[in-house]
Structure 1
């Protein structure tokens, strides 16, 4: 009799423990980002690198951060083929807001540069078939000195949703970095609660890295669609290669965490500005595709040279970037100044390969595909997709010569030939 009672009590305890575990699991799941977005890396345009915090519309009306600038870029996105190629988001970065919140504590746009208001601007972007993104900051102020979201996270999430915002970049200036591991997930909760799908771009890991705080990338991936984890990109080749080096040095940490819905963000494409030549621009485009990185241009689409527009619109490279498997590539080999990067794609024996040359002279590398781990006995079809040249059928044990442009790249699409 006592055995039966103890058995029943034990069973009840197990049921209660299971119920508690399920409740805890539900509580955790409701905190995770739940917007269904970013299944492939987001593509679009952003104000920051090219236009920075230029608020001088009186003396520089053509280049100041304003609703006119954003509307013109939206027009160019549609009319010049970027939208058709997959670019979707038009994103304002810092310095869009008024210096003060309104009487209800809500953020408001600068009345001179954004006289129609952010909702009207978002409506215009939506009317062009695009999505609208905005910038905020986890701290007391943005990096440019405008109102931050600390102590206003829930209100700001609601405000952004009411404006029709589709993407939020949340920076981390003027904040206590040690609280980001709870603060960013708090914003995730509030974004979820709005019921509006808002792509969430976090700067959280970048600040923790800078302050030597261990980064919990599992939590980052649970709470963010994309995240910055290294220095801001500048308009220079040195800046691009510095980012590439960081990604190569940390690929054991970064590669496993990337996937549909959550991607590492090495920062904006600067193609079409002054800092990169054609070879270097092709290299950035290729490497960002290998990284499965967001393709967020920061340039002036109103006067970009055709050669750079063609690089940004290279549909073969974009197809690699947007591969549904969402796997990040990694550095496999080095031959002096030439690095060889490899990214697995959706289908069996389907790959993207980049040869990146950081020398000022052309370099030739001799390589067998088997050195990269290629094992398909029937061989592969190989195509160079930066210049759209067919190589043809190759055997995995065949020695191949790859002549890589100075300070540039080659990018190949390889697939089984059966």
Structure 2
């Protein structure tokens, strides 16, 4: 066939079968919320453990606390159900249904309750015949399930990849559910695990994945342990040349849940997970018990300076720029010509160690030419003042701990100085009738 004929056929097919890529306007900054899985797993025993089982009561309580305890105000907006909410069978019309004992009011009523708090509801399903826990999956029912979620008022879908059969079914299933969600007319954030299930077979096509998903899991489930958190950080650094360029407003690499406030991480390791998830522009989906979280962990998760970096409108994912003497140095560009840096102490023996950081050695060295302002955010907030290109910051970092700081470009510093000068001049000119 002539080349023009091929082009004509492609054009006609595109008109008959238009490609509907994800276009929901969501996740312009990394998603923030709460997800049940790591902390509560598949606990369906509401007789012996009613306080912790997967039931409508659990999500209503979390929604209440998110409003009452400042989580919503801090930016956490999604209350997300993971696996094990389903009944063992679909209903007579082949629609999904929740377990009638644990969700007696139904998902629509639960969504209405969450929405009444000014929050959003997330739900879980699977691309295959069964979910990972063995409940009915979405294969063969993508359109119907998407319509069901929209009818219920669901705001986020976490779409897992267990029991998918063939790789073609896996890939087409993720695409089909994306199209089905679009077709409902309701904006439902689409959280995929597509690349996670492709990696054992071949390198995923991340350009393709970004076209269909709002964020995507690349690596295995996070556990409540430092070894697990470290392995995720390391995987991200090893593959950063592949995955960092595709991240940005509307689509993010998802390293999995924050386990801060649970049992497995020391305080320094909690600081490190929060710092690294912020540097990696990761979705901040907590999996913990907000009903009993300790005040220190709560303070860390609600830290406004960290959340401002996480939600920076430039939407650039950070990356590792160096590893020396068991220290990892990460950099994330921010809006306004600013940068965030994290220095992680990989050593897990001995005591605190000093890391002398010469600002002139940073890839973004122009940040401090001729001067810049340095502000430490973690492990505690501290203004480190105005520095120059040849300043050396002597950072003391605990084993498995992290220091995170921001650097404001000289242009930003000049603007700040100009603002302060104007402010002082206005004070001098102030009259009794002034509104200032």
TM-score range (shorter-chain normalised) is over 0.9
What's the counterpart of residue 398 of structure 1? 391
CA separation of 1:24 and 1:321: change in aligned 2, threshold 3 A = farther
SS at match of 1:110: coil
What's the counterpart of residue 364 of structure 1? 354
Cα drift, residue 131 of structure 1: 0.4
What's the counterpart of residue 8 of structure 1? none
Deviation string, structure 1 residues 153-202 (Cα, Å, up to 9, x no partner): 11000000000000000101111251222221111110000000000000
Q: Work out which of the residue numbers 231, 242, 249 in structure 2 matches 1:260.
A: 249
Report the TM-score, using the length of structure 1 for normalisation. Answer: 0.93
What's the counterpart of residue 289 of structure 2? 300
Answer whether contact 1:338 1:357 (CA < 8 A) is retained: yes
Aligned pairs for 1:41-52 within 5 A: 41-52=30-41
Deviation string, structure 1 residues 275-327 (Cα, Å, up to 9, x no partner): 11211111101100011000000000000000000000011011111111111
Q: Work out which of the residue numbers 127, 131, 141 in structure 1 matches 2:120.
A: 131
CA separation of 1:65 and 1:364: change in aligned 2, threshold 3 A = same
Cα drift, residue 22 of structure 1: 6.5
What's the counterpart of residue 351 of structure 1? 339
CA separation of 1:85 and 1:22: change in aligned 2, threshold 3 A = farther
Aligned pairs for 1:78-227 within 5 A: 78-179=67-168, 180-209=170-199, 211-227=200-216
What's the counterpart of residue 379 of structure 1? 371
What's the counterpart of residue 269 of structure 1? 258
Aligned pairs for 1:16-31 within 5 A: 30-31=19-20
What's the counterpart of residue 408 of structure 2? 415
Cα drift, residue 396 of structure 1: 1.9
Answer whether contact 1:177 1:207 (CA < 8 A) is retained: no
What's the counterpart of residue 305 of structure 2? 316
What's the counterpart of residue 75 of structure 1? 64
Answer whether contact 1:340 1:356 (CA < 8 A) is retained: yes
What's the counterpart of residue 335 of structure 1? 324
SS at match of 2:366: coil
What's the counterpart of residue 7 of structure 1? none
Report the TM-score, using the length of structure 2 for normalisation. Answer: 0.89
Distance 1:23 1:325 in 2: 38
Q: Return structure 1 stretches of 4+ with deviation > 6 angstroms.
A: 16-29
Aligned pairs for 1:1-20 within 5 A: none
Distance 2:113 2:358 in 1: 52
Cα drift, residue 83 of structure 1: 0.4
SS at match of 2:26: coil
CA separation of 1:178 and 1:378: change in aligned 2, threshold 3 A = same
More off after superposition, 193-202 vs 396-405? 396-405
Distance 2:327 2:192 in 1: 32
Answer whether contact 1:136 1:148 (CA < 8 A) is retained: yes
Cα drift, residue 379 of structure 1: 1.6
Distance 1:396 1:177 in 2: 55
